[in-house]
Amino acid sequence: MSPRVGLISGSTRVRSTDLTETSPVCTKCAKRDSIYFRPYSGERLCPTCFKRSLKERVERTIARFEMLEHDSRVAVGVSGGKDSLGLLHILAEIERSYPKAEIIAVSIDEGVRGYRDEAISIATEACGDLGVEHLVISFKELFGVTMDEIAASTRELGACTYCGVLRRRALNEAAMRVEADRLATGHTLDDMAQTALLNVLRGDVNSLSRVNPGGSDLPGFVRRIKPYCEVPERESALYAYLEGFRFQELPCPYTGEAMRNDVRGFLNRMEITRPGTMFTVYRTAIKLTPERGETTMMGTCSKCGEPTTGTVCRACQLIDGLREQGPKNA
Amino acid sequence: MASIRVTARMMGPLKEASGSEEQEITLNQNAIVSDAIHRILEAHEGDLDSALLDPYTLSPVTNTLILLNGVEVGNLLGLETPLRDGDRLVLLSVTHGG
């Protein structure tokens, strides 16, 4: 038997006197009925004002972190999920005001049968609808191995660790192939706050002080930017729903980095009872980050020639580790 | 007591976990949103509990966007919003897919 549903809900997020059984008028336009209550700001928004506010927030984020030039060629990492597709829609809309700017979608096929096939097909369909060029490259092509093979292999680390490192490398490779000068990813406010808190819990001060949504110019890397970093995932989901675009519905079969899941649950609960918590965590991490312009000294990987701070890059370390751990992995 | 019928549409991983996109629920006339969600959970005999409920608070609002007739329930009376015959609920997982 299922447990009784808990009632920690909107009714505890605001004073009960503020709530009604019908939708109040939109705080911004004062004309249309609101459909969404934004607990961290107190706004009640209609669909039009909600979507406009999200676009304006992305524009402000781009300006604040000096993410783009008027003629930037931006590779947008599109996984087929709601966040990256939402970002692609908004950037495509912003791009229309900048005739010299260009957007190209890039997707990585990690090789997860069933899951990634669906996502790539959704990404391709969205790019077709938006008239955006789309490049897909695969783990198999770049590293000679799929995520399904990695997941089935003898390994010391979680599948998400391999996927994260290799996907990061693959996205950079894809962005270079399309000759982009920026690589935009759909990291949300939730992702940023989770990463910041994870770094605190792991005692990783160096990573905690490297939260830079505007990215850095590092030799061998396309500058990575996160224009969606101040959009809560809940609002990204609502935007996808209101826009009515198709997005991936299957969960990844390998998902489940235990510590991140714990942090996600904790932050989501705090956000319900203490609205604005995620912004506070994210902004605290931003305050700890030095001003842009400081660069890390980079060398090249002795195995693949890609840029790295060590002698062998993390991607090569992981692939070599898999091969060394048994004939099953060769 | 008279009953009402409400349609629930599941999106994201909830659709996959529930095995169907839409389901119709019959409830008492004075039912609220949490009653509908409880009925959905019961109908799936525990299969949806982990996808829909926060393991600590047992609340669905932590990880799910819940809309009633196109309005997010946080803009109404939350899970205590009364339901009427013919209402349409949408349940969309927030924490999935990037």
pLDDT of res. A158: 82
pLDDT of res. A15: 41
> Which pTM value belongs to this model?
0.90
Q: How far apart are CA A213 and CA A75, in angstroms?
A: 15
The region of weakest confidence among A145-149, A297-301, B41-45, B75-79 is A297-301
The chain-wide mean pLDDT, for chain B, equals 90
Name chain A contacts of B42, Cβ cutoff 8 Å.
1-2
Residues 52-91 of B with CB under 8 A from A: 53-63, 65, 67, 70-82, 90
CB contact under 8 A, B94 and A241: no
Name chain A contacts of B67, Cβ cutoff 8 Å.
35, 241
More confident residue, A11 or B5: B5
Give me the count of residues in chain A: 330
Name chain A contacts of B70, Cβ cutoff 8 Å.
35
> Is residue A298 over pLDDT 90?
no
CB contact under 8 A, B97 and A80: yes
pLDDT of res. B96: 67
User: Is the separation of the CB atoms in A28 and A53 below 8 Å?
Assistant: yes
pLDDT of res. A144: 92
Q: pLDDT tens, A230-268?
A: 999 999 999 999 999 888 877 788 876 678 889 999 999
Q: How far apart are CA A163 and CA A151, in angstroms?
A: 10
The answer to whether residue B27 neighbours chain A at the CB level (below 8 Å) is no
User: Is the separation of the CB atoms in B6 and B25 below 8 Å?
Assistant: yes
Domain layout of chain B by residue ranges:
3-93
- Mind giving me the DSSP string for A81-139? SHHHHHHHHHHHHHHTT-TT-EEEEEEEE---TTHHHHHHHHHHHHHHHHT-EEEEEEH
> Is residue A5 over pLDDT 60?
yes
* ipTM of model over 0.90: yes
Nearest CA in chain A to B51: A251
Residue from B40, B76, B80, B90 to probe the interface with A (highest A Cβ count within 10 Å):
B76
CB contact under 8 A, B74 and A84: no
Q: How far apart are CA A83 and CA A126, in angstroms?
A: 13
Architecture of domain B3-93: Roll (3.10)
B86 burial (CB, 10 Å; 0-12 / 13-18 / 19+) is exposed
pLDDT of res. B51: 84
The chain-wide mean pLDDT, for chain A, equals 88
Q: pLDDT tens, A91-139?
A: 999 999 999 999 999 999 999 988 888 899 999 999 999 999 999 999 9
Q: Shortest Cα distance from B8 to chain A (angstroms)?
A: 15
Q: pLDDT tens, A11-56?
A: 334 444 455 667 899 999 999 999 999 999 999 999 999 999 999 9
pLDDT of res. B98: 58
